[in-house]
């Protein structure tokens, strides 16, 4: 196994990776910006290196600084976590060319699957149903008008190299197309350095369902699906597994087709294939070539440590898992806790945490990087913790999650804990009669 791994990330995912490394007996290197020097991931790692100032482009997105940290510490491998450079093909390529192992798929796969248009073509080629829309990038408004007439309104404009809802616009009628097309192009350029757009049919009442895969040179296995339909502006808030709306036959068909596609592209590592689900039909959305924020809900459900398996695949080339090893039981729910104020349009809530009491108890897990006295800065993503609970069934999982959220005390900043309680207590959540647009329609905030 690797002797030393550098974690090219921060916050709760850096803590998560450090824990997995320690269980393998691997030495860990944390990197940090100037404002993160007292963070939990820095405290837990065996070594730490300051790689720049608080602006991400000067630190966590700075490839030169990260590679200097590798040279300085003698790390053999880099785990990118999620976000930042985790799906940056150039970074993966630079790491590999330096003789360092990138813990994830190779740069060519990242590039192919990271481009939404290319990924859609690959999915279609290997038998996954795709959403009706443009076959390639849409450069002009006249081109956009033609495509929109062909597929019918409403449509969704998306950034080819994007994610997280940036560069994404819903167009209900043609009269709004020109303005929203221009806005999407500007956003795509700003956030991803690439203003290429594509257009596809917009689903009004969809569920968002994704499949977790682990793949080595020897085989590909799935770890079941997650339902990520509780969202705000295309950002996931609550994830659960299994999906409460799928029949056994629908689930089996989805998982089988997904594994087949992932095997055929020669994928290695942990990956997630995402789908839109509406009226009993699935449509390929995208593939994330990294560990997901919501991976713990699958770990709790299956008993498989996804991050430790990532490390093993990166080291050996093969997955140690067989499909028969994976026996999910019961029901699991994950809530993402953010340092935000829902009453003020989810405005970030930086500050110092004066009181911090995290929940525990039977089948309750908290992944986070917070502690009493830690500073939440305004410079990065506002996710501070994830509460993951498992029950014998969905009802018990909901009850256990609510009990855990009641125990979670964070003072000094505002969080989304109370919002999660409100969602979990709502009849539509309990009955699972919601879709990805539910929170906006219900006016929860």
CB within 8 Å of 315: residues ≥ 6 apart:
1, 2, 77, 101
Q: Give the distance from CA 371 to its chain's centroid.
A: 24
Per-residue CA distances from 373 to 14, 180, 215, 356, 379 (Å) = 19, 44, 40, 8, 18
* Six-digit token string for 289: 């070539």
Cα atoms in the 13 Å half-sphere on the side-chain side of 396: 10
Categorise residue 81: left if φ over 0, alpha if ψ from -120 to 50, beta otherwise.
Answer: left
| CA-to-CA dists, residue 163 to 68, 114, 116, 202, angstroms | 29, 9, 9, 16
Helix (H, G, I), strand (E, B) or coil at 240: strand
Q: How far apart are CA 158 and CA 117, in angstroms?
A: 10
Handedness of CA 171, 177, 180, 184 (dihedral sign): positive
Residues 390/400, Cβ–Cβ less than 8 Å: yes
CB-neighbour burial class of residue 4 (10 A; exposed 0-12, middle 13-18, buried 19+):
middle
CA neighbours closer than 13 Å in the CB half-sphere of residue 304: 26
Q: E strands, 233-301, where?
A: 235-241, 269-278, 281-288
- List the structure tokens of 152: 């019918």
Q: Which residues of 426-440 are buried (b: 16+ CB within 10 A; e: fewer)?
A: eeebeeeebbbbbbe
Active-site residues: which are they? 290
Strand 383-391 vs strand 364-368: parallel, antiparallel, or unpaired?
antiparallel
- What's the rounded Cα separation, in Å, for the pair 182 and 366? 42
Q: Cis link prior to 242 (omega < 30° from 0)?
A: yes
- Residue 352: DSSP 8-state: E
């Amino acid at each position: 196994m690797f002797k030393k791994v550098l974690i090219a990330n921060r916050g709760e995912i850096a803590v998560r990776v450090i824990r997995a490394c320690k269980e393998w007996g691997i030495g860990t290197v944390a990197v940090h910006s100037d404002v993160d020097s007292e963070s939990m991931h820095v405290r837990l790692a065996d070594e730490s290196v300051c790689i720049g100032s608080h602006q991400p482009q000067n630190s966590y997105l700075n490839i030169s600084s990260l590679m200097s940290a590798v040279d300085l510490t003698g790390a053999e491998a880099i785990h990118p976590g999620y976000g930042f450079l985790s799906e940056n093909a150039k970074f993966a390529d630079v790491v590999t060319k330096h003789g360092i192992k990138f813990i994830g798929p190779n740069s060519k796969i990242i590039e192919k699957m990271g481009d939404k248009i290319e990924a859609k073509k690959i999915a279609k080629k290997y038998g996954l149903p795709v959403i009706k829309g443009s076959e390639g990038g849409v450069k002009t408004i006249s081109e956009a008008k033609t495509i929109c007439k062909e597929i019918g309104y409403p449509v969704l404009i998306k950034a080819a190299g994007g994610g997280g809802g940036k560069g994404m616009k819903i167009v209900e009628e043609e009269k709004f197309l020109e303005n929203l097309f221009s806005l999407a192009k500007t956003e795509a350029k700003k956030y991803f350095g690439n203003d290429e757009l594509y257009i596809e049919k917009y689903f009004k009442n969809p569920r968002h369902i994704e499949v977790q895969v682990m793949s080595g040179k020897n085989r590909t296995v799935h770890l079941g699906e997650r339902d990520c339909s509780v969202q705000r502006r295309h950002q996931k808030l609550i994830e659960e597994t299994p999906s409460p709306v799928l029949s056994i036959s629908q689930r089996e068909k989805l998982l089988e087709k997904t594994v087949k596609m992932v095997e055929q592209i020669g994928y290695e590592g942990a990956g997630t294939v995402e789908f839109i689900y509406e009226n009993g039909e699935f449509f390929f959305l995208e593939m994330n070539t990294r560990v997901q924020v919501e991976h713990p809900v699958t770990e709790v459900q299956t008993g498989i440590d996804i991050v430790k398996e990532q490390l093993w695949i990166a080291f050996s080339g093969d997955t140690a898992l067989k499909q028969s090893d994976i026996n999910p039981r019961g029901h699991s729910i994950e809530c993402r806790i953010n340092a935000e104020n829902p009453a003020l349009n989810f405005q970030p809530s930086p500050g110092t945490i004066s009181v911090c009491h995290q929940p525990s108890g039977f089948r309750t897990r908290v992944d986070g990087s917070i502690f009493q006295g830690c500073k939440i800065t305004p410079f990065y993503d506002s996710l501070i913790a994830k509460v993951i609970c498992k029950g014998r069934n969905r009802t018990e999982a909901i009850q256990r999650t609510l009990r855990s959220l009641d125990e979670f005390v964070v003072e000094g900043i505002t969080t989304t804990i109370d919002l999660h309680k409100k969602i979990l207590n709502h009849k539509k959540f309990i009955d699972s009669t919601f879709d990805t647009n539910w929170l906006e329609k219900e006016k929860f905030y």
